[in-house]
Amino acid sequence: MSRQALVLSMTSEPPLVLDIDGTLTDDAGRLDSRTFPYLQAWNAPVVLATGKAFPYPVTLCHYLGIELTVIAENGGVVLADGQVSYQGDRERAQAAADAFVERGGDLGWDGFDDVNEWRRTEVAVDLSADEDLLRTVAAEFDLEVVDTGYAYHLKTPGVEKGDGLGVVASSLGRSPSEFVAIGDSENDVSTFRAAGTAYAVANADAAARDAADVVVDGSYFDGTASVLGSLGST
């Protein structure tokens, strides 16, 4: 390796794939304002990979002023290089959600349901819902339930954030293994497996902790900031 390449490899920042809830937020679910300076200064691609419906990470990218490279709905929606793709069966998830409600379940969103209004590939249910009934109905519809710590997601099996990372990485001319992942819950496990190095923040659930290469001491954005601070060249 030439001296210049060596210096570059020592100082260049890796591409990132970042979960949002529990990772870029504080313990009250609010976006940590330090997200802005950290991500705006990052000298490599930043991919937001979330269980949230598509408009949320897109909007965050807009206001951060970063490229729209987004994995939403747990891998159900992927946007990279101006191309959007959808995986997963919202109609089946909706039929299961309707059956859940018919049997006395409650999706738990009072008033305007901004959680599902723009959701294209799955249905999300509040954590106050009857989990046993939800899992029973999901199985009858050949769907799975993923608990992110923020919601239950009624989703098509096999649709995962980690597959979305494959799509995004190839559109960027990168390999998923070049990415550093940070996350906090079971919906990040597939990302952790696909990425080169995976960090779980201290508030992460057992599945994310087990799948991570490193569990950091800090919780929420404090943990994320410690990883970004150790990797960043700036």
Contacting residues toward Mg ion, per CB under 5 A: 19, 21-22, 184-185
Give 3-state DSSP helix, strand, coil % of the chain, rounded to 5: 40, 20, 45
Q: Is 51 in the site for ligand PGA (CB under 6 A)?
A: yes
CA 176, CA 47: separation in Å to the nearest integer? 11
Catalytic, 19? Answer yes
Measured in degrees and rounded to the nearest 5, phi and psi for residue 214 equal: -140, 135
| Backbone torsions φ then ψ of 27, nearest 5 degrees | -70, -5
- 50 interface partner picked from Mg ion, ligand PGA, none, CB below 5 to 8 A per type: ligand PGA
Binding to ligand PGA (CB under 6 A) within 121-180 occurs at: 148, 150-151
Nearer to ligand PGA, 89 or 160 (CB): 160
Strands (E) in the chain, as ranges, are 16-18, 46-49, 70-72, 77-80, 83-86, 123-125, 144-147, 152-155, 180-183, 197-200, 214-215
The CB-of-183 to Mg ion minimum distance in angstroms stands at 6
Question: Looking at 52, 90, 119, 155, which residue binds ligand PGA (CB under 6 A)?
Answer: 52
C-alpha dist (Å) from residue 18 to 84, 87, 128, 169, 228? 19, 20, 26, 13, 11
Distances (CA, A) of 82 to 59, 67, 69, 104, 171: 15, 10, 8, 42, 10
Least separation in angstroms between residue 121's CB and ligand PGA is: 13
Residue among 16, 17, 20, 134 that touches ligand PGA (CB under 6 A):
20
* Closest-CA residue to 71 (of 181, 199, 217): 181
Output the smallest distance, CB 20 to ligand PGA, in A: 3
Interface with ligand PGA includes 45 (CB under 6 A)?
A: no
Nearer to Mg ion, 105 or 223 (CB): 223
User: Smallest distance from the beta carbon of 189 to ligand PGA, in angstroms?
Assistant: 11
Binding site for ligand PGA (CB under 6 A): 19-22, 50-52, 148, 150-151, 185, 187
Residues annotated as binding site for Mg(2+)? 19, 21, 184, 188
| Active site (catalytic) residues | 19
Residues annotated as binding site for substrate? 161
